[in-house]
Amino acid sequence: MQVYLKIHSQGGTEVIAVCDNDLLNKELCEDNFKLKISNDFYGGKLIDIDEAINILAISSNFNIIGNNIIRKAIKSGIINESIIKKINNIPLALKMIF
């Protein structure tokens, strides 16, 4: 299974963006909330989901979306199920440590 992963660096801080491969360039809308899973933010390298989990495990800041990456992140102990939000029934999670 593969996911898109992109590393954003600014001022010494990195944010890792990961999405399931089938979600790239989709737009999700629910009530007044709209989320575009854009190539600019998520569309980095297409990699194996286990490689993405290894990167996320050592990251202080990430933004992940999709059933597969969220399920794997929970199973790996990277995130707790209580932090997951959903839009159009697609789970997403953020981790930010300053």
CA end-to-end span of the chain = 31
For residue 23, which amino acid is it?
L
Whether the pLDDT of residue 97 is over 90: the answer is no
Q: What is the pLDDT of residues 7-32, one digit of tens each?
A: 999 888 999 999 999 999 999 999 99
- Domain span at residue 63 reads 2-95
pTM, two decimal places? 0.94
The confidence score (pLDDT) of residue 63 equals 97
**CA 8 – CA 31 distance, rounded (Å):** 29
What's the structural domain count of the chain? 1
pLDDT of residue 84: 97
Q: What CATH code is carried by the domain that includes residue 86?
A: 3.30.1860.10
Rounded distance between C-alpha atoms, residue 29 and residue 14, angstroms: 27
List pLDDT tens digits, range 35-66.
Answer: 999 999 999 999 999 999 999 999 999 999 99
